[in-house]
Structure 1
């Protein structure tokens, strides 16, 4: 599986450089997402701009990422999903589960807001 990883201070941008996210690539994607999480990053943006097709195993890999990054108060954001992928997410009713934005810039803003809200909740406790 071809991909890029761009590590920022508050988050990681993971970009699959594949057109298909199917059963052949999903186990690799799951493994890579878990590796990034194990490195201590709480927030991840997955840039889906190159992915034109995903199947149920691809969605499963995204769900694993969503669960793992959300476990310790982090956030998992899907950025720039293409039409077919977005359609599958909607049909599966996962648009209620995932945080989905149109661009990397929007994802960065969402992480910034998430971090501020997290700090406010910590101060309240």
Structure 2
């Protein structure tokens, strides 16, 4: 795989998960740039301001202050140019069937991927 995407935005509060996920994304040349945010609210501001213009977002569900589903509620309210083209993957260790159902039913979620992100999961992403 070689740089199918220009910018990948990783939103997860866990430093270790971010480190591992970023390494996998970079070693597979998944995107030209990988940007990491440990705060969903800061990620919303980065999107709203145009500081980050991603093609792909990997989003954790369980985060303090603003979780993944709250992020999606705020994401729905912002106006960004390429919104319909952005692929959002819920990347979570959650085994809660409610989380999976909410992900499947959310218009912005492309797919639900269980942590940790693997090369196999990346290879299965439709580009």
Give me the TM-score of the superposition, normalised by structure 2: 0.46
Structure 1 or 2, whichever has the larger Rg, is: 1
Q: Point out the structure with the larger helix share.
A: 1
